[in-house]
Amino acid sequence: MAGQGADSTVSVSPDRVLDGVPAAVVSTDVGGVVLSWNRGAERLYGWTAAEAVGRGVDELTLPNGWEPSAVRDSLASGRSWSGAFTARHRDGHSFRASVTTTPVHDDQGAVLALVGVSTRAVEEPPLDRVQRELAAIVDSSVDAIVGVDVEGVITSWNPAATTLFGWTAAEVVGTSILALLPTVQAQRLRGLFAELVVGAVVPDRETTGWRKDGSSFAVDVRLSPLRDRGGDVVGYSGLCRDISERSELRRVAEAERARLRAAQALAHVGSCELDLATGATAWSDESWRMLGVPPEPGASFDRFVDAVHPEDRAQVRGAVELMSSGHAPEAQEYRVVRPDGEVRWIREVFAVDHDTTGRAATVLGTKLDITDIRAAVEGRTAAEGILRQGFEHSAIGMLVSDRHGRTTTVNAAYLEIAGRTEAELLGAQSSSWVHPEDAETAARPRAAMLRGELDTYSHEHRVVRPDGTVRWVRKTVSLIRGSDGEPAFFLGQVQDVTDQKQVESELAHQAFHDPLTALPNRALLTDRVVQALARRSAGAVTALFLDVDQFKVVNDSIGHAAGDELLVLVAQRLQSVVRPGDTLARFGGDEFVIVCDGLAEADVELLGVRVAEAVRAPFALDGREVTVTVSGGIATSGAGCDAESLLRNADAAMYQAKARGRNCVVVFDDAMHHQATERLDTELQLRHALGRGELVVHYQPVLELPSGRVAGVEALVRWQHPVRGLLTPSAFMELAESTGLVVSIGEWVLETALAQVQRWRTSLPGGAELTVAVNLSARQVAAPDLTGLVRRVLDSSGIDPAAVHLEMTESVVMNDGAVYVDVLTELRALGVGLSVDDFGTGYSSLSYLKRLPVDTLKVDRSFVDGLGGSDPHDRSIVVAVLSLASALGLQVVAEGVETDAQLRELVALGVRSAQGYLWKRPVAAAELGPWLVERTQRTGR
C-alpha cells in the first residue's frame, strides 16, 4: 500500500490461498495418499482435512470397485488428465464430478506429487453425454483415428493421430488427407474410398505411413465407411496402428530363416522333422540338395530311403522305424546316390522333442554331407604315411624331443650332422652336444616357448662332434601342443650351414672391402664414420679425402694392370702413415679416404703433409719408375655434422686442391661450405627442372656460305630458372654431367628438337631440307642402348635420319674414342650424321679421328674470333682444319661468326657452312619459326 515502506510484505500461507478456491483442490503423492485437502474438497466430498490427509484418495472419493486405470496411465506418462467421473460423498450418495489431475515434477523430470482440481458436474442431456463419451473414447484411443468426408477432407483427428503422424488437429482438419501423402499413396487411397462407396469390403492392410518430418514407418490401416441415417456414405473412418516394431521383428525373423538356410547350404547341413502325431514330414532345402534333386514338399521318408545306396537302405529303414516309435536312433553314416550317379556320404544324428506331457512329439534329424571329410581323413592317413617316410629319409636333420628336452626320435640326416649314433642320442638332452659358448642362447627360446611366449623359433649355433670338430647348424624348433592345449613335444629341423657360414663370412668381407686393395670400401667407411661421430669421446672426427693426380694419364700410358698395381702400392704407402685406430678406405676409382678419431687440431695439417710425402716417393712399376702426387681435402666434424656432410666437405676441399694446381692438401672452410651448399641446391633444383617444365630448347640457324641459305639449326638447351632467369648450359651442364642428370635431359632435348624440326620441315615454305644438330655428352654416349634411344626418337618424330646430326665434343671423341667406336658406328648405321664439336681445343689424336665414323668438324668459336685481322694465327689454324677435313673427306662448320669481316674470311678460305650472332642468336622455336619464313621470303632461299 502507499502508506507502507518499500520493504514491507504481506505473508499469506498457501493453505489459506487454497481454502479460498471454491473448487476442490487435492494433492497426493505418487501412490495416491492425500497430502493436502482444501475447504472446497470438504464441501464437495464431506470429509474434513484432518480426516482425509494420510488416507488414499480413491477410498475417499470413488465408488467401490471403480478402477481409474486410464487416469493413472496418463499421469504415469507425465501428462495431465481431464474428465468426468462418478464420485462418492462421505454420506454415501453419488454424484458426477469433473476433474483435472496434473503431475508435479522435480528438476530431473521425476513425478513428485499429483494435484487434482474437481467440481460438481452439470448434468448433460443424454445424447450430448453419449457423444461426449464417444469423443472421449476416440481421444483416449491409443490408435490413430482419422475421419474424412467423401471428398477426403479431414473432419476429425484424435491425439493418437498427432502422436503417430506429427500433425496436430489444428494443422490438418479441413485439409485433404490426399495432400499429406505421396502421389502413389494418394491414388491408392482414392481407389479404396471408391470401393467403400459401392459397399465393397476393404480388408485391413499393411502399408507405409508418412510423418510430417518426411520419415516413413510401417502402419496397419483399417478403413470403414461412415453412413448417415439413410445409409448413404458421408465419409470414411481410418484406424491406424504403428506396426514398425512388429514389422521389424518379422523382417528379422525372415532374415534369420534366410541366414539359417544359407548357413545350412554353406555347411552342407540339412534337417528333417517327423511329427509323431500326424506322421507329417518336413525337409530342409539342403536335404534335397544332398540328394541332387529339387525340393519335394510333403514327400515321405520312403522317397528319401529310395535315394539311399542299396547297401545302406536296411540301416536307414531301421532308423526310420525307430523314429516312428518315438525314439532317437544312434548316429549313423550312410551313402546316397544322386540321379547323375554321384555317391555322397551323409552323417545323421537324431533328437526327440517332447510335448508338455512328456510324450514324444517330434523327431528331428540333422544331416551333414561328410564326403569331403571322409576323403580328407583318408588323405590324411595316406599323408601321415608319406610324412613318416619323409621324416626318416629327409635330407634335413629332424628330431623330436619331449617337453623336458629329451630326444625321442631322430632321422638319419640328424645322426650325420651330430656325428653320433641313434643309441647315443635317444633319451639324451639335445643341448649336451651344443657348443658350450652357444648353450645358453640355444636353451633360452625353449623356455620361452614353454611359458607360452613363442610357438616357433629359429637360430644358428655350433655343435661339437665326438671327434672335436665343430659344425654350424641352423635349427628351427616348433612347439607342438596336445588336444588339451598343453605343450606335448618339440619338433626340430636342423641344417648343417658350416659351408654357408664360411661363404657368408667371405661375402661379408667382400661387401665391405675393396677387392683390389683389401681396404674398407665406401659402405664400411660410412659405417665407421657414423660410429666415430656417435662416440666423439676423444674429440672431433677428421676426414682426409685423397685423389691421385693425373691417374688417368698414368693408366692410359702404362696400361690398366699397371694402374691397378699402382693403386695397391699407394694404398700400402697410405696404410704406413695412419695410426692403428684410424680407418683408411678406398672410396672409389683413384680416391682414398682417411678417417681419424680424436686427432688434435694442430696435427690435422701435419697428417696431410705426411700423406703427401709418403705418396710422392717414386714407385717401381713393371721395370719403370713412376711418380705421382695426391690432392687432398681435410674436413673436421662440428656441431650437427653427420657422416654424409663430413665426407662431402672433405670432397669439396679436395676439389679446391685440384683447382689450385694439384699436389696439395686444402682444409675445408665456410666459403667451401657455401659453394658446396650452393652446388647441392642447384643440383636439387636441376633434378626437378625437367618435370616442372623449366628446361627449354633454343635453336640457332646454320647457313650455307656464301649463298646465305638456311641449311639447318642447332638445338641448344636452356634453363628458365624461376629466380636466376634464363641460364645457358655453362651454368648447369657440368653439374648435370657429374650427377648423371644429363642423360635424361639429353633424351628430352633429342625428342623435343627432332619433333620441332620435323614440324618445320613439313609446314614451313622451303623447310623440307632443314637439318638439326643435337649435342651428346660423354655420359649420353656411354649410356646403355643409346642407339635404341635414337632409333625410337627417329621413329616417333618421323624425321629423315639424314637430316639429323649428333654432335660430340673433341674431348669425348678423342679421349674416349676407342671406347665408343662401336657405339658411334651403330649410330652412323641408322643414317644420322656425326659431328665433332669445338674442334681444335683438345689434344686431338688423328689416329682416333681417322677410325671414327664422323662426317663433320665444327671449328671452335675461339679460332673464328681472330679471323679478319685480329689474330693471324687463327687463320692458320682454320686453314689446317680445312686441310685435315679435306684429307679425311669431312665437312666443316664454323661457329661463333659475329662480323662481316669474319664471314668474308671464311668464304675466302672455302668454308661452306657457319653459324653465329651475325645472323641470329639462339632463340625459342616460337621466335625462330617466323624468322625462317621471313628470311626465305626475303632471300628466296
Q: Is the dihedral of CA 281, 284, 287, 289 positive or negative?
A: positive
Distance of CA 832 to the CA centre of its chain: 48
Q: Which residues contact 341 (CB under 8 A, 6 or more apart)?
A: none
pLDDT in tens, 728-737: 988 888 778 8
Distance of CA 518 to the CA centre of its chain: 45
Q: Cβ distance 54 to 97 under 8 Å?
A: no
Q: Cβ distance 852 to 872 under 8 Å?
A: no
SS (H, E, C) 316-363: HHHHHHHHHCCCCCCCEEEEEECCCCCEEEEEEEEEEEECCCCCEEEE
pLDDT in tens, 539-594: 688 888 998 887 776 776 677 788 888 889 998 988 888 888 888 999 888 889 99
Give SS3 for 201.
Answer: coil
SS (H, E, C) 386-418: HHHHHHHHCCCEEEEEECCCEEEEECHHHHHHH
Q: Nearest-CA neighbor of 525 among 585, 590, 588? A: 585
The bridge status of strand 833-839 relative to strand 856-859 is parallel
In 10 A of CB 795, how many CB atoms?
A: 9
Q: Kindly report the CATH class assigned to 399-502.
A: alpha beta
What are the distances in angstroms from CA 689 to CA 676, 679, 686, 723?
Answer: 20, 15, 5, 12
CATH T-level fold of 142-242: Beta-Lactamase (3.30.450)
Name the grid cell of 360.
Answer: 514324444
pLDDT value for 73: 65
Phi, psi of 325 (to 5 degrees): -85, 5
pTM: 0.42
Residue that is written with C-alpha cell 666437405 in the block: 649
In 10 A of CB 69, how many CB atoms?
A: 7
pLDDT value for 860: 80
pLDDT value for 128: 55
Distance of CA 495 to the CA centre of its chain: 39
The DSSP call for residue 843 is -
Longest dimension (CA), the chain: 153
CATH T-level fold of 266-375: Beta-Lactamase (3.30.450)
Residue ranges, CATH 3.20.20.450, the chain:
686-936
Q: At what angle do helices 601-616 and 560-577 cross, to 10 degrees?
A: 140
What distance in Å separates the CA atoms of residue 758 and residue 794, rounded to the nearest whole number? 10
Residue ranges, CATH 3.30.450.20, the chain:
14-123, 142-242, 266-375, 399-502
What distance in Å separates the CA atoms of residue 261 and residue 145, rounded to the nearest whole number? 41
Rg, the chain, Cα only: 54
Residues of the chain with pLDDT under 70: 1-14, 65-78, 122-136, 253, 256-268, 383-387, 390, 536-539, 553, 556-557, 673, 676, 810-819, 838, 840-849, 868-872, 940-941
The DSSP call for residue 185 is H
Burial 839-859 (b: 16+ CB within 10 A, else e): bbebebbeebbeebebbbbbb
For the chain, the residue count is 941
In 10 A of CB 863, how many CB atoms?
A: 24
Q: Which residues contact 482 (CB under 8 A, 6 or more apart)?
A: 488
Got the DSSP string for 224-291? EEEE-TTS-EEEEEEEEEE-HHHHHHHHHHHHHHHHHHHHHHHHTEEEEEEETTT--EEE-HHHHHHH
CATH 3.30.360.10 for the 513-668 domain, yes or no = no
Give SS3 for 625.
Answer: strand
CATH of 686-936, one of 3.30.1360.170, 1.20.1740.10, 3.20.20.450, 3.40.50.300: 3.20.20.450
- Helices and strands: H and E segment counts in the chain: 35, 37
Q: Nearest-CA neighbor of 598 among 520, 665, 532? A: 532
Beta partners for residue 24, in sequence order: 118
Question: Is residue 706 reached through a cis peptide bond, with omega within 30 degrees of 0 on the bond before it?
Answer: yes
In 10 A of CB 490, how many CB atoms?
A: 23
Q: For the purposes of burial, counting CB atoms within 10 Å of the CB of 479, is it exposed (0-12), middle (13-18) or buried (19 or more)?
A: buried
CATH of 14-123, one of 3.30.450.20, 3.30.499.10, 3.40.50.300, 3.30.750.24: 3.30.450.20
What distance in Å separates the CA atoms of residue 189 and residue 156, rounded to the nearest whole number? 17
What's the angle, vertex CA 775, arms to CA 769 and CA 781, rounded to 5? 120
